[in-house]
Amino acid sequence: MTIKSRIRTVPHYPKPGVMFRDITTLLKDPVGFRITITELVNRYAGQKIDKVAGIESRGFIVGAALAFQLGLGCVPIRKKGTLPAQTVGHDYELEYGTDRIEIHVDAIDPGDRVLLVDDLLATGGTAEAAVKLIGSMGGSIVECCFVIDLPDLGGRQRLTARGQKVFALCEFEGD
């Protein structure tokens, strides 16, 4: 069985026409989760990376397991108002309105090489905001890493247009 085969598709969630790719079925599968983290460890072992940054919330799960295996610290990138200490943030556009992600002011040191991790790449808006936020703190992105890429939604192109390298373990076309 592949990683992709362990990901559940929930039709018409959260709205009609959306095919939601749910990694909770992958995470609950001990073999599937181990294969996922092992494949990522094999990709990034030996690279010059200082920290792994995981985007809320499923990016925390994958990012923390990956950081642990690589012997690195893990930095959470959260939604506005959810971190307890002083933060720095970045506002970004959504389809309807704006949102904000934040990180603790002491999370990224100037010159840090950061691996950005999330479960899914769709339009790339949140990942692009995270790249900008980390850059504003003096960090540089080694690569943007995802379990799933939905290539038809343009996120990969959006990030590569900003000069970012993008990697995903699997793709779901037609979304």
| Span 123-150, pLDDT tens digits | 999 999 999 999 999 999 999 999 999 9
Provide the percentage of residues in the chain whose pLDDT is more than 90.
Answer: 93
pLDDT of residue 85: 97
Task: Give the CA-trace dihedral at 108, 113, 119, 120, to 10 degrees.
Answer: 110
Residue 96 has pLDDT above 90, yes or no: no
**Token pair of 70, please?**
């690589």
Residue 1 banded pLDDT, cuts 50, 70, 90: confident
User: What distances in angstroms separate CA 29 from CA 7, 8, 24, 124, 161, one per listed residue?
Assistant: 10, 12, 9, 27, 35
pTM of the prediction?
A: 0.96
pLDDT of residue 119: 97
Instruction: Give the 3-state secondary structure of residue 63.
Output: helix
What are the residue boundaries of the structural domains of the chain, listed by start? 47-171
Provide the percentage of residues in the chain whose pLDDT is more than 70.
Answer: 99
Return the CATH number of the domain spanning residue range 47-171.
3.40.50.2020
pLDDT of residue 97: 81
Residue 174 banded pLDDT, cuts 50, 70, 90: confident
